[in-house]
Amino acid sequence: MSASISNTTPEDGTAIVKLDPYLEPYKGAIKYRYDRFAELKQQIKDSEGGYDKFSKSYERRGFVVDAKNGVTYTEWAPGAVAASLIGEFNNWDPKANQMERDQYGVWSCYVKPTADGKCAIPHDSMVKVTFTKPDGTTVDRLPPWITRVTQDLSISPIYDARFWNPPKEQQYTFKHPRPAPVGGKDQAGGLKIYEAHVGISSPEPKCATYVEFRDNVLPRIAELGYNCIQMMAIMEHAYYASFGYQVTSFFAISSRFGTPEELKSLIDRAHELGLTVLLDVVHSHASKNAEDGLNYFDGTDHCYFHEGARGRHELWDSRLFNYGHHEVLRFLMSNLRFYMDEYMFDGFRFDGVTSMMYKHHGMGVGFSGGYHEYFGDDVDLEAVNYLMLANDMLHEIYPNVISIAEDVSGMPALCRSVQEGGVGFDYRLSMAIPDMWIKLLKEKTDDQWDIGNIAHVLTNRRHAEKSIAYAESHDQALVGDKTLAFWLMDAEMYTNMSDLSPLTPIVDRGIALHKMIRFVCHSLGGEGYLNFEGNEFGHPEYVDFAIESSPCSISAQARYVLALNRWMDFPREGNNNSFLHARRQFNLPDDPLLRYRYLYEFDKVMNNLETKYKWLSAPQAYVSLKNETDKVLVFERAGLLFIFNFNPSQSFADYRVGVDIPGKYKIILNSDEKRFGGHGRVEMNGEYFTTDFPWNDRRNFLQVYIPARVVLVLGPV
């Protein structure tokens, strides 16, 4: 969070009005939601002892092993009239371990240790809970707080719950502390996020593992200059092709990638490399699976969710949490705490925040930016209060935690502290930026690009609220969309990305603009930057290495087949359960004959340059030039001068640009260098001297040679 607004900040949750006077008409609504948050926080304190104990409910719910190896099993299921713990340990006998209910609908039983003092439930053995409904019928369910579930697709797609209690010698012990806070004095640069999916992280057509990601991908991320990993699809989800967005078991990490101990070793290794690790947390909805999910858990449709239509997301075909219920708050807030404490995650990217905050879930709604849209009847106050509680709890217990909101609505004060009246996030994703690039590449020719609009979209963010800029994320890589590289180069990526083949105009343009688009987002678009794994080198979705590495031709039929595969596609019935398009071909930028290496090298230099000069943590850039005729964009940030020439054909000699700080400058980044796939048209050793004469509202100017489709960054000598 940024510094407080003033020395006379109101303490009634309305301080954000001083930051944004346009919020004044909604001061009452802001105060009301803060008062409701304060009431909920006080209720948690009065009934549970406060955030710390409440959010550690995972130590009391589900399976808890005591010092004598006895097991207490506790579960909230108010709709049931009887309950029993069943499993391999008691031959699935519902009479063996019957549970008792308290006045709040919480059931519990105790499984005594064996005569020789061992745990009566074997490690990794299968367990379930069985409930009797009021009509006398029974349902078997997976325990919601279970930390390990596995799936054997050769038998059934339904998950099995497993009692995870490895011997101490098999339990992973963390060796490395969390890294210093991103942007802090001990860690250079702002937040640079590498959005990653473990399963696709191998060049081989298979589901990769935590161990493979730890050993093969983490070193790359560190080398590329990123300081943060955002891990996708970690919470267990029955359907692999859902990309992790149909969660079935919230406390279990995906077993298709490995064991809990192996994920812990991955995170520990990331910390050793200085990488902050965020979890993509899905609290916006849940899978509608009943046999291995939360749906109809106690036999009713309203245990964890709203009943009826309010509890169903029709577009996502999923269930919606009842954020107004005390036990749901316990479950979700403990879920966050569990991942922070047990797995040593450093924070969260909250998925689907727009869907949570509004009763319409953002469906069929085009947000105009009018403030009435954020404080009216369409707002789901219970969900907003949950987000306030979650962020307040996280920041109170972990001062260096990072929380990011995926919100397309533009909710004011989303990234201001709860005490000021905000929702408490640290960053929001700038979701309009990738949409702008797709629209430009899809609908406009290069000479039609509106430089002023590009600059506006990149800088149009709320004052004193941090944003994560990105040119593309996993959304643009999934089935039905295309990555920037494909919008730029399309099918030629399969035939002309070898240095042994001629450099075509399409590939030349694609390489140049791929670098410029990503870099202008990085340097102008926000206080953080995000990239989805593989996109840094323009990942093709499939390529025949033998064909690509040689200048030989490819048949028309094969080219047609390859051209169809323009996106990432998980194994599913529609593609014969193929892994071919659910993998990352990291071998491509390593090949000295392929042009992917140029984009990879530029990404590495771009990130490491930010680590040195820290423009992401600097104040927002000052844009001095948006020349629509020349297609030139110039701005200053962190003491550097950024010059982008988006002109498709015209280079400019002795081009005059304004700069505020006088002195001698040198080039510190030139996208036209041959090591980046450029043409080497700019002398890297040149020096540039300012002239004491105002230009473009800056106190000085200097003159540069700026070739077409090139970005130069100048820094003071």
Find, among 222, 214, 200, the residue nearest to 534 by Cα: 200
Does an H or E element contain 429, and which?
strand 427-429
Find, among 567, 562, 570, 541, the residue nearest to 480 by Cα: 567
Residue 112 DSSP label: P
Q: Are strands 640-645 and 632-637 parallel, antiparallel or unpaired?
A: antiparallel
Active site residue 472: no
If phi > 0 it is left, if psi is from -120 to 50 it is alpha, else beta; for residue 208 that is beta
Residue with structure tokens 């995906």? 254
Please, which residues bridge with residue 645 across strands? 632, 710
CA dihedral 510, 513, 517, 518 (to 10 degrees): 60
Spatial distance between the Cα atoms of 143 and 145, rounded to a whole number of angstroms = 6
C-alpha dihedral sign at 618, 1, 187, 529: negative
Residue with structure tokens 């006398």? 136
Active site residue 88: no
Residue 233 DSSP label: S
Instruction: Select which of 20, 351, 508, 601 is catalytic.
Output: 351
**The two three-digit tokens of residue 304, written as one number:** 């964890």
Contact between 524 and 459 under an 8 Å Cβ cutoff? The reply is: yes
Find, among 352, 146, 317, 322, the residue nearest to 239 by Cα: 317
**The two three-digit tokens of residue 43, written as one number:** 């209720």
HEC secondary structure over 649-671: CCCEEEEEEEECCCCEEEEEEEC
Find, among 610, 588, 598, the residue nearest to 671 by Cα: 598
Spatial distance between the Cα atoms of 517 and 580, rounded to a whole number of angstroms = 28
**The two three-digit tokens of residue 648, written as one number:** 């498709």
Spatial distance between the Cα atoms of 61 and 73, rounded to a whole number of angstroms = 7
**The two three-digit tokens of residue 481, written as one number:** 């969309």
3-state secondary structure of 196: strand
Spatial distance between the Cα atoms of 599 and 566, rounded to a whole number of angstroms = 18
User: Residues near 568 by Cβ (< 8 Å), separated by ≥ 6?
Assistant: 200, 474, 477, 478, 479, 541, 581, 582
If phi > 0 it is left, if psi is from -120 to 50 it is alpha, else beta; for residue 226 that is beta
**The two three-digit tokens of residue 240, written as one number:** 């692999």
Residue 107 DSSP label: E
Find, among 537, 648, 646, the residue nearest to 594 by Cα: 537
Residue with structure tokens 């939601």? 33
- Tell me how far the alpha carbon of residue 584 is from its chain's centroid: 18
Geometric angle at alpha carbon 67, from 62 and 68, rounded to 5°: 100
Find, among 285, 333, 363, the residue nearest to 44 by Cα: 333
Measured in degrees and rounded to the nearest 5, phi and psi for residue 37 equal -60, -45
Geometric angle at alpha carbon 519, from 515 and 521, rounded to 5°: 125
Contact between 21 and 310 under an 8 Å Cβ cutoff? The reply is: no
3-state secondary structure of 364: coil
Find, among 475, 441, 469, the residue nearest to 457 by Cα: 469
Spatial distance between the Cα atoms of 174 and 343, rounded to a whole number of angstroms = 9
Instruction: Select which of 75, 382, 406, 548 is catalytic.
Output: 406
Catalytic machinery residues: 351, 406
